[in-house]
Amino acid sequence: MLWKDACFMALENAGMFENSGHRTRFHEMLDCYANYPFFTKGLCKCMYLSAWDEEHFVIMLETLTNMALGQEEDTEDMKFQGDVLSEENMDEHAYGEALMFQISGAFLENRKPDLSKLSEMSEEYQHIVDRGMKAAEIIEGV
Lowest mean pLDDT among 25-29, 118-122, 124-128: 118-122
60 versus 77: the higher-pLDDT residue is 60
- Number of folded domains that form the chain: 1
The whole-number pLDDT of residue 52 equals: 93
% of the chain beyond a pLDDT of 90: 55
Mean per-residue pLDDT of the chain: 86
Neighbours of 58 (CB within 10 A): 12
pLDDT band at 75 (very low <50, low <70, confident <90, very high): low
Parent domain of 13? 3-141
Residue count of the chain: 142
Annotate 31-56 with three-state secondary structure: HHHCCCCCCCHHHHHHHHHHCCCHHH
The mean pLDDT of 109-118, rounded to a whole number, is 89
- pTM, entire model: 0.87
Give Cα separations from 52 to 42, 79, 127 (angstroms). 16, 19, 11
H-helix or E-strand spanning residue 67: helix 54-69
